[in-house]
Amino acid sequence: MTTKKGIPLDLEQNPIQALLRLIEILRGKAGCPWDREQTPQSISVYLTEEIFELAEAIAADETQDICEELGDVLFQVFFIADIFKENGSFDISTVASQIIEKMVRRHPHVFGPDKVDNTDQIRTRWHQIKQQEKAAKIEKSALDSVPAKLPGLMRAYRISERAARTGFDWQNTLGVIEKVEEEWAELKSAIAERDDGQTADEFGDLLFTLVNLARFLKLHPETSLSDATNKFVYRFNSMEKLADALGQRVDTLSHTQLDALWEEVKGRENDHGSESDS
């Protein structure tokens, strides 16, 4: 296969090599002006979007969509690597070599003499090795390794994890629950006093504490919130369908009517649950 300008692209070769060649063509002088203008910074925005789309496909367990979204992520990763190859920094082979070396180093129970009895020991050893790796790097804080641009819930979770590893943590789940109740009381007080600034602060404190509670419960807040949001969307859509069957629209109904529809939707879910259990 050749481009309109006669540049060869062998689609029969190894697909990885073909993808690398495709990106070289797009970035080349006879390629695409838009692709040539891109920088690691500009592509990182698209990479972030593609990662979220991949996560959504995985959550939906749509195999074909997962395959497609993995391809989109792979393309962005290779694209960024090609930019650095052009300026002589590194190429995708260097990236692959370094991650192989890192993974071998962090799995001494697979590639070395270490013996482990459970996954908790593996996690502990993993973080010990990471700390040894970072000893050679200059970091002002134990929290420096958490990217500042992570989505809020994900960053809060990682920050709380890093802080906990230093020993700065609650003793048990009950302690976190007590802190949640304390923050909830402070939020209600700020709302009652009509202090907008304090309300925002206390709301943030409550969210951050709930993230810590999720960590103690071995849940990920991002996943839990996504599941809850999807459940709400499903129930709201079901409400709309029920209203439509009655010849009405949800935005014309009273609060009482909306509450009745909501409870009907939930009731139907419970009925289906009972049937599946029987």
pLDDT at 76 over 60: yes
Phi, psi at residue 10, to the nearest 5°?
A: -90, 100
Instruction: Please provide the size of the chain in residues.
Output: 278
Q: Look at the block and give the residue holding tokens 């692959």.
A: 96
- Pair 25, 82: CB distance under 8 Å: no
Domains of the chain: 38-103 (1.10.287.1080), 145-219 (1.10.287.1080), 223-277 (no CATH)
**In this model, does residue 6 exceed pLDDT 70?**
no
Tens-place pLDDT, residues 233-262: 999 999 999 999 989 999 999 999 999 999
49 secondary structure, DSSP code: H
- Other C-beta atoms closer than 10 Å to the C-beta of 128 total 12
Task: Select the more confidently predicted residue: 128 or 186.
Answer: 186
Joined tokens for residue 272? 């289906």
Strand, coil or helix: 2: strand
Whole-number pLDDT of residue 166: 84
pLDDT at 163 over 60: yes
The helix-helix angle for 221-245 and 40-60 (nearest 10°) equals: 60
2, β-bridge pairs: 8
Main-chain phi, psi angles of 58, to 5 degrees: -65, -45
Q: How far apart are CA 238 and CA 253, in angstroms?
A: 15
Least confident of 36-40, 67-71, 122-126: 122-126
Residue 191 pLDDT greater than 90, yes or no:
yes
Instruction: Tell me how far apart the alpha carbons of residues 17 and 166 are, in angstroms, rounded to a whole number.
Output: 44
Residue 45: other Cβ atoms inside 10 A: 10
Cβ atoms of residues 260 and 246 within 8 Å? no
The confidence score (pLDDT) of residue 139 equals 58
Look at residues 221, 224, 250, 106 and name the one whose alpha carbon lies nearest to residue 114: 106
Q: What is the pLDDT of residue 275?
A: 46
* 25, 9 Cβ separation under 8 angstroms: yes
Instruction: Determine the pLDDT at residue 143.
Output: 84
CA angle 147, 151, 152 (to 5 degrees): 100
Helix (H, G, I), strand (E, B) or coil at 251: helix
At residue 138, the pLDDT reads 59
pLDDT exceeds 50 at position 24: yes
